[in-house]
Homo-oligomer: A and B are copies of this chain.
Amino acid sequence: MLGNFHVRTDLALEARESFEEDDVKIRGVRVETREDEEKEIRTTLVKIETENGARTMGKPVGTYITMEAPNMSGQDEDYHREISEELAYHLKKMIGEREQSVLVVGLGNRDVTPDALGPRVVSNIEITRHMIREYGRAALEGKRANEVSSLVPGVMAQTGMETLEIIKGVVEETRPDVVLVIDALAARNTRRLSRTIQISDTGINPGSGVGNHRNGINKEALGVPVISIGVPTVVDAATIVGDTMEEMVETLDSSGKVRGFGGALGTLNRVEKQQMIRELLSPHLNTMYVTPKDIDETVKRISFTISEGINIALGGMA
């Protein structure tokens, strides 16, 4: 749901990194990294354990798992299968092993390429709820049989309704045990795009970074656990300009090419610099996003990989 992102990053991993330069351990936040060199997948667990940690990170208490795989937008099918299985492993742990009814929700706008990830994932999910209801679990021939249903709520500009209103109505009517939401995210760094999957048990909390919990798609709002899968596909245009700006200042200064250039800004601290850059930026930029030119291929491949992971985890008919 890229339509109205306000935060500079939806990735807990990046939120954590922004503190790294200070080399300080954040109280209430636990971080573990595991590198599977053979599989070329790096998994980072960020666990926000206390309200204090949540405030510092600008994200709710909960578990955030990030899978980074450099070739995620490539064409190697076996590699994609491994990512799907790794994803399934984490999902199963969060959802639990017993049979449940799961509503899979594809957030975003199917008509905007980088925002179409959620709807595309949903289009490949094996749906079983109606069959189990009609024929019983026996129909699925002894396989583990979660009742799987799905929803593509669309975006507010197209429906006139808050996404949360639609999901809430459907959840109250069909009473799933768990909701699984898939969404395109905004990253801070272009290098994260198209190679990162974030899984979380906190749902979707837009604008959490700036204290806005109003439209969170989470347990608090829906009454059932909400697991989210997100892939960064865009960078906020204002962010990219600001970051490149900072980078240049640093480079120019150290290169000595243009003496005093960075120094002039050196009197400002990090937050002041960002504030100033934001003020100077054209307001046009707040309605713009940056995305790779081959985003169609990337979204196609990664959405298929994620839907395979979900199908494995939910033990559909595949």
The chain A residues found within 8 Å of chain B, CB to CB, are: 2-4, 75-77, 109, 111-113, 123, 126-131, 147-152, 154, 156-162, 165-166, 168-174, 190-191, 237, 240-241, 244-245, 247-248, 251-252, 257-261, 264-265, 267-268, 276-277, 280-282, 284-285, 287-297, 300, 316-318
Contact = CB atoms under 8 A, between A and B. Distances in A.
A10 to B, nearest CB: 15
B190 A282 contact: yes
A264 B265 contact: no
Given A165-B174, A168-B173, A247-B282, 13 more contacts: A109-B296, A111-B113, A128-B160, A150-B159, A151-B154, A168-B169, A172-B173, A190-B282, A241-B245, A252-B280, A259-B264, A260-B260, A291-B291
Contacts of A240: 237, 241, 285, 288
A75 B124 CA distance: 11
A119 to B, nearest CB: 11
B281 A244 contact: yes
Contacts of A113: 111-113
A150 B160 contact: yes
Which of A172, A261, A281 is most buried by chain B, counting CB atoms within 10 A of its CB? A261
A293 B287 contact: yes
A291 B2 CA distance: 12
Given A75-B126, A294-B157, A277 B248 contact: yes
A129 B3 CA distance: 17
B318 A76 contact: yes
Contacts of A169: 166, 168-174
A111 B77 CA distance: 22
Nearest to A284: B190
30 contacts: A76-B318, A77-B318, A111-B113, A112-B295, A112-B296, A113-B113, A123-B158, A127-B157, A128-B160, A130-B157, A130-B161, A151-B161, A172-B172, A190-B288, A241-B245, A244-B281, A244-B282, A245-B248, A247-B280, A248-B277, A257-B276, A258-B268, A260-B264, A261-B261, A264-B264, A288-B292, A288-B293, A289-B290, A289-B291, A289-B293
A290 B293 contact: no
Contacts of A297: 157
A163 to B, nearest CB: 11
Contact of A290 (B127, B288, B316): B288
A178 B280 CA distance: 47
Nearest to A4: B293
A259 B293 CA distance: 38
Nearest to A123: B158
Contact of A161 (B174, B260, B280): B174
A148 B170 contact: no
A294 B287 contact: yes
A148 B109 CA distance: 19
Contacts of A156: 130
Contacts of A2: 293
Nearest to A297: B157
